[in-house]
Amino acid sequence: MVTDLERAALVADVKSEVLKEIVEQREKSYSPRIGPLARVRKDYIKPLYDRFGSYVCWRIWEKVQNLACYGVGARYVRDLTPAKHEAAAKIAEQILQIILEERLGETNGD
């Protein structure tokens, strides 16, 4: 049989291990406001806004972000690991460059 003191010690150990795992998971994930994808967003949001307007600009960013995540095997930005975050940023940047080049070509009469 387990005494109350031993049970309390076991519960405290389990709780500390669970909390440690949660902290590690949070450290591995990135917020959408920091990291490489945020840098790409910062670099491209103004040109997108200028060429497409507010609504379309944000819809484009949403879709580019989704495609970049899918491209590295993640479903959401919160699921990106640090290594995948860099690769997703490269994919997003390539997509945005294509979109802006196509739009620029269209407005220049090409």
Task: Please tell me the predicted confidence (pLDDT) of residue 90.
Answer: 94
All residues at 6 or more sequence positions from 86 whose CB lies less than 8 Å from its CB, including other chains: 36
Calpha distance 56→51 (Å, rounded) = 9
pLDDT of residue 69: 93
DSSP tag of 10: H
Tracing tokens 């879709």 back to the chain, one arrives at 63
How much of the chain, in percent, has pLDDT values that exceed 70? 84
Tokens of 40: 């790409």
pLDDT higher than threshold 70 for residue 32:
no
Digit-coded pLDDT (tens) for 97-110: 999 987 656 655 44
Mean pLDDT of the chain: 84
User: What's the confidence (pLDDT) of residue 68?
Assistant: 95
**What are 55-99's pLDDT values in tens digits?**
999 999 999 999 999 999 988 888 888 888 889 999 999 999 999
Q: Looking at residue 110, what is its pLDDT?
A: 45
**Segments making up each domain of the chain, as ranges:** 1-30, 31-107
pLDDT category at 19 given cuts 50, 70, 90 is confident
CA dist 72 and 87 (Å) reads 7
CB 44 within 8 A of CB 100: yes
